[in-house]
Amino acid sequence: MKLELQTTILMLLIFALSLIGSLLFTLGTVNYYSLLSSTTGVKVSYFPPYLELLYIVASILVFTGIVLLLIKFHLTQIITVFFVFVSFLVLLEFFDILLSPLLNVVGTNVILISLAASILLTLYYFRYADNMGRNVVNVMIFITIGAIVSLALGPIPALILIGVIGIYDYIAVFVTKHMITLAKGLTQGSFLAGITLAAKKRVRRMALLGGGDIVFPAIFINAVALGYPTIVTASVFAAAVLGLSLILFFGKKGKAYPAMAVIAPLQILAFATCLLVRII
């Protein structure tokens, strides 16, 4: 995946800022709802964490299978409708969480403003946005999903999740190769495939960072932040950035790589090392 230096640095910057944004979003959500309920934490799922983990993995597999079938039979209209709906719901949650602390103070109706903002931004995304505009909205969506899922799981289920995703990503890219088909199909429809950047010297070449490559590392970082010291959170964050850096700087030109297959082991190693140091 070797890219121009400027494109590589920009991709790493977007990746790092997305992880930090998701972390801040998670901490802000916990603090706000904890103040409202006078208790510690916030409940975003009615299922136990490990059942939620099973549900997430199963949903990913089912979703992937359905979308691949739709791409194969050129039923992109159905994919479009689905992603419009999902984008709207996630953006609604984004604005609701973001605006609630401010607007509740002044007595403004948060639901109506969040609803209006979500509708307008969804319309902009699918109708008018250029590549950079879609990148910005994608980041908003990714940090929201990362925050919500991390609150539902907790540290150990999140660790298991990224481990499973790391193995799955390797198989999906190098063995079955269906992840490449999926990414191409979604990117052609300008959906939530991820962050795309054009190399300036080769306008037709695009660098693509999948949405899952942002969401899953963020889930683990957020979950760790809620249960462990700052140094542990900083370590798993640095491991994620290091993992993507290795791919961007040392990957071969024009070749697709399973980012989570590199990021997940490094994050798990960083987490385990921190725990081992604490025990010693």
Dihedral (CA of 213, 216, 222, 227) sign: negative
Residue 177 lies inside a defined structural domain of this protein: yes
Distance from C-alpha of 257 to C-alpha of 186, rounded to nearest angstrom: 17
CA 44 to mean position of chain CA atoms: 17
Predicted confidence at residue 1, as pLDDT, reads: 54
**CA nearest to 192, candidates 177, 174, 208, 203:** 208
Predicted confidence at residue 46, as pLDDT, reads: 62
Residue 81 lies inside a defined structural domain of this protein: yes
Which residues of the chain fall short of a pLDDT of 70?
A: 1-3, 34-46, 102-108, 187-192, 199-206, 280
What values do phi and psi take at 206, rounded to 5? -120, 140
What is the chain's Cα-based Rg? 19
Q: How many CB atoms lie under 10 A from the CB of residue 234?
A: 15
Residue 163 lies inside a defined structural domain of this protein: yes
Predicted confidence at residue 100, as pLDDT, reads: 76
Residue 280 lies inside a defined structural domain of this protein: no
Residue 42 lies inside a defined structural domain of this protein: yes
Is-contact 23 225, C-beta < 8 A? yes
Residue 74 lies inside a defined structural domain of this protein: yes
The domain containing residue 180 runs over which residues?
5-275
Query: What is the residue type of 5?
Result: L
Domain count for the chain, please give it. 1
